[in-house]
Amino acid sequence: MSSSFYRDMKGSTHRLAPHEIVVPAVPDDERIWVPQAPDVWFRPLMLNTLAGQWCNLLRVRKSGVLSRHLHPNPVHGFVLKGRWHYLEHDWVATEGSYVMEPPGEIHTLTVPEDVPEMITFFNITGCMVYLDENDRHIGFEDVFTKIDMCRAHYEKVGLGSDYVDQFVR
Can you give the pLDDT at residue 10? 77
pLDDT: which is higher, 17 or 122:
122
Supply the DSSP string of the chain, one letter for each residue: --TTEEE-TTS-EEESSPPP----SS-S-GGGSEEEETTEEEEEEEEETTTTEEEEEEEE-S-EEEEEEE-SS-EEEEEEESEEEETT-S--EETT-EEEEPTT--EEEEE-TT-S-EEEEEEEESEEEEE-TTS-EEEEEEHHHHHHHHHHHHHHTTS-GGGGGGGB-
User: Over the stretch 51-68, which tens digit does the pLDDT of each residue have?
Assistant: 999 999 999 999 999 999
Q: Is the pLDDT of residue 3 over 60?
A: no
| Average pLDDT of every residue of the chain | 92
pTM: 0.88
User: Over the stretch 139-169, which tens digit does the pLDDT of each residue have?
Assistant: 999 999 999 999 999 999 999 999 999 999 9
